[in-house]
Amino acid sequence: MNTKICVIGSSNIDQFSYVANIPADGETVFGDSYETGFGGKGANQAIMAGLLGAETTMITCLGSDIFAESTIENFKNNGVNVDHIQRVNGSSGVAPIWVDSNGQNRIIVIPGANNLIDADKAISSIEKIADLSVLVGQCEIPMEVNQKVFQFAKNKNITTIFNPAPAQKLDEEFLEYVNWLIPNEIEFEVISGMKVNDENLINFKKEIPSNLLVTLGENGAVLVEDESVLYFDAPKVNVVDTTGAGDAFIGAFAFGLSSSESLNKSIELAVEKASLSVTKKGTQSSYLN
């Protein structure tokens, strides 16, 4: 069983403000509590895979500030290899997050060092990881970096998973290097220009070379095949904070694929881990049992 996963992507320090109602334009409100935690979509996905037992390597770029060393220690403490983390002068990424009483969030990502990740160094790192089975990426680092790295990985027969978040249009050429495209509902609408329904999902799948799996929040996920869709229901849970749920899904799905689980079992595991994560506050902290 080969469970070697590499995640290339962002690392941020999450800054949570919990409030009953998100303030309107020009409005000041009192919040309930404030917390900081480790985040970044790439880091979150790597942590979930590492917690599940995958041999996980993180390729990310950190700054020269106080957040960098603590981020590295957090990776180590959660089973993620840090040998290929890049460093630059300047600030690491941060993400102020507002969470309302329904558990819904608003997030501002300030990339910092994430924008300075070096594609050639990343490819050199991947070359050094023997028997790598899965590469995972997202849109929180420059897409030209993803393009080079995913092309290299696909040519090496490494299974590639791409989570197009934050949502943006994707080049057709890039999708040639993506085995699994996994957007959420909003991201699907941005990429495809269509609402999520069975007909639109099937039509879009016909337009792309990638396998398509769409996450649906509390409604689970849907696997899109050539002429059909297969829904995977999520368990009913008490929602506290939805931050990082999509990343929990991606990390768990990557683990399932890398550990030779069936496709359906991998999706079921991903839905389960994402659903559990929303029952606790925080991002990576919500992945812990």
Dist CA 205 CA 10 (whole Å): 27
138's enclosing H/E stretch is strand 134-138
End-to-end alpha carbon distance in the chain = 24
- Catalytic: 247? yes
Cβ atoms within 10 A of the Cβ of 160, count?
Answer: 21
- Contact present, 284 and 49 (Cβ < 8 Å): no
Instruction: Find residue 148's DSSP bridge partners.
Output: none
Residue with tokens 């389960």: 272
Beta strands 221-224; 211-215: pairing state: antiparallel
Q: Which residues contact 157 (CB under 8 A, 6 or more apart)?
A: none
- CA separation for the pair 172, 227 (Å, rounded): 21
CA 115 to chain centre: 16
Per 3-state DSSP, what percentage of the chain is helix, strand, and coil (rounded to 5)?
A: 40, 25, 40
Handedness of CA 122, 243, 15, 55 (dihedral sign): negative
Q: Whole-angstrom Cα distance, residue 61 to residue 112?
A: 9
Specify the amino acid at residue 283.
T
Which phi and psi angles does 280 have, rounded to 5°? -135, 155
Q: How far apart are CA 167 and CA 191, in angstroms?
A: 7
Residues annotated as catalytic are 247
